[in-house]
Structure 1
Amino acid sequence: MNKTDRLLAIVLELQRKGVLRAEDMAAKFETSTRTIYRDIQALSEAGVPIVGAPGLGYSLMEGYFLPPVSFTAGEAVALMIGTDFVEHKFDSDYRTKAQSAREKIEAILPESVSQETNRVRTTIRLLVTGETYNSGREKEGLEALRRAILDKRKVRFHYSKNIPGADGNRHSVRDVAPYGLVFAQGSWILVAYCDLRQELRHFRLSRMSDLTLLEDSFTFPTDFNLQDHKPADDRRVLVRVQVHPDIADKVKGAGSFFMTQMEDHEEGLMATFHVRQPEELLHWVLGWGADVVVLEPESLRNRVREEAAKMLKGY
């Protein structure tokens, strides 16, 4: 990073973070503390009102805002793709805001950058899959849950969950304190403290219905940080399957949320999975027909035999 870019980046960081030490800025911009001191001096001489407090760091004088900055074609494309994603995957409120933001970005781009941005965007496509009933249900609940999180209000909803090996789905009513929303594996997931289970749980928005905002408020735990949160991995059951060479590439391309390892062998692809219950892979295995054979555990091999026998009776 050259000096001009670094000076601009320093102002942006101060505007964003509030107070920063010279040591922190030196680490971020991969330079020396002495260089940061010189940069701060250069910015002050250029009229940027930077205030230094011994033992605390540097900050911008209250009320100072950096004038509008320009974007490179790559930065503009990144922002445009971001607005496309928000428009497709968030609720109607943010969809409108994403459209407005895109229009403002397009309006301030110089002609040369705008042309390059449009050229690059024609080579990139955001595929939005799963435009189904579930997707619509997710979007309906997303706005209500966002507001509940910001207002620190509990919510109630009916939750439907498929239990492998059971007949049909299990339904329950949950009262939860919503802590955050995560977009993973193409689906929105609510991270919340469940009153029924008395612990932190994860709920797919696609499985929720009758969502209601409650009057009860809650307080975020001081030790909870959504960005650092990692759900406990309870997928402890090992499943190994053998894939016929003719479809090995298809299986690799399709993948699976539960797949943890793939190895090529002469007799075919050996795939390893970790699941909570073996039945979670039943439909995946059956979907590939005779080209996928379960090696272990025996319980899953038996379930495949049972389902195959039922299918044979149907024909």
Structure 2
Amino acid sequence: MALAKDAKIMNRIDRLTAIMLKLQSKRFVTIDDVAEHFDISERTVFRDIKALGEAGVPIGFEKDKGYFIVEGYYIPPVTFTKEEAGAILLAGKLLERQGDKSLVDEFESALTKVRAVLKNTQKDYVQNLEKYIEIVSPSVPVEKAFPDLFLNDIKNALVSHQVLSFEYYANYSDTFSSREVEPLGICHYANHWHLIAYCRMRNGVRDFRTDRITKLQVLDQHFDPSLRDDFKEHIFVRQMQEDVREVKILFKKNVARLIGDQRYYYGFIDEQKTTDGVEMTFMVGECDHFARWLLMFTDAVRILNSTQLEDQMQQLIDQLAAHYTASLI
């Protein structure tokens, strides 16, 4: 019984420490946030907050916002376990492979600060672990027409609700257009960062690939984001309904095993083995890009449910045939 009691006490001590860290990580933390995060009741949250206050941690409360640590009070530097430090190292390696230079530099700076507070044995662990980590990306061509230089400016504008002005390159027309937008959020998909913003020229929410943005300026104009649609709704609802469609492709077995991670660059979500091969499901936006990828597999693929993609493939095949026929004349 004594051991069980000691374990219970230690669990609460760990939880109180974690609650302090959570309070320090945000300006306000609600009771619901704490209760859900630690899987405890609201009554237990009240008791823990009271215990922290009695221990000398100056915790305040603001109606409709939550608890906060009074400004000027700082918790001593956080220590990490070797496993936590190793996880941060792995995250950094993955980030390096994304090619987002503007983010890699900041992460490396943060990782240096993490290393600085590690114990010597933990530093040795991370240093040795790094020798045995390598992230290998599939050799799929990624467009790098423009450097992705403006993520920091975009992040700052998102937080301060400031209007952005920039030149945007449209790949389909090979032209630039001037845009003035109200930034609503950023997301990462299809190997690129995307800015979701209300475009004042188009009078609607639009998706801008950040590496196609040039000459960006943060204007001295502010806007109210509550007057615009939620950017997450645009990503997960509108895009799925309007721009992206489900496509099923049957690959011959001898080809399917060679595809590897390439499929994840083209919206892969599922696969099923059949007697005829491997049926893969993709969420596809722009058919032309996807069709060009499928062409490399020649007669080893069959489109199962998209006449639009079949038409696009036929057009590409006709263009290819015309090109080589002309060269033989």
TM-score above 0.5: yes
TM class by smaller structure: 0.7 to 0.9
**2:77 corresponds to 1:68:** yes
Q: By how many angstroms is 1:113 displaced?
A: 1.7
| Distance across 2 between alignment mates of 1:228 and 1:95 | 28
Q: Find the partner of 2:175 among 165, 168, 171.
A: 171
Q: Which amino acid aligns with 1:288?
A: F
Q: Find the partner of 1:303 among 285, 293, 315.
A: 315
Q: By how many angstroms is 1:286 displaced?
A: 1.0
Q: By how many angstroms is 1:20 displaced?
A: 4.2
| Distance across 2 between alignment mates of 1:134 and 1:278 | 17
1:288 aligned partner: 297
Q: By how many angstroms is 1:90 displaced?
A: 4.2
Aligned ranges for residues 1-315 of structure 1 at < 5 Å?
2-22=11-31, 24-51=33-60, 58-83=67-92, 89-91=99-101, 95-127=104-136, 134-135=143-144, 137-149=146-158, 152-162=162-172, 169-177=173-181, 178-209=183-214, 211-213=215-217, 215=219, 217-222=221-226, 226=231, 230-231=235-236, 232=238, 233=240, 234-235=242-243, 239-251=247-259, 253-255=261-263, 256-276=265-285, 278-295=287-304, 296-297=306-307, 298-300=310-312, 302-310=314-322, 312-313=324-325, 314=327
Q: By how many angstroms is 1:199 displaced?
A: 0.9
Q: By how many angstroms is 1:108 displaced?
A: 1.6
Residue deviations 1:196-249, cap 9 Å, x none?
Answer: 32111111133344x242756241421555566525122465644332221111
Indicate the SS of the match to 1:202.
strand
1:165 aligned partner: none
The TM-score, its normalising length taken from structure 1, stands at 0.78
Residue deviations 1:262-299, cap 9 Å, x none?
Answer: 33222222334454564343201211122223455252
Structure 2 unaligned spans of 5+:
1-9
Structure 1 unaligned spans of 5+:
163-168
Indicate the SS of the match to 1:47.
coil
The answer to which structure has the higher helix fraction is 2
The TM-score, its normalising length taken from structure 2, stands at 0.75
Q: By how many angstroms is 1:74 displaced?
A: 1.9
Residue deviations 1:166-213, cap 9 Å, x none?
Answer: xxx34240313133332322212122222332111111133344x242
Q: 1:43 to 1:271 in 2, by over 3 A?
A: closer
Which has the higher mean CA deviation after the structures are superposed, 72-81 or 141-150? 141-150
**Over the residues paired in the alignment, what is the CA RMSD in angstroms?**
3.6
Identity fraction in percent: 26
Indicate the SS of the match to 1:139.
coil
Indicate the SS of the match to 1:247.
helix
1:166 aligned partner: none
Contact 2:187 2:193 survives alignment (8 Å): yes
Aligned residues: 307
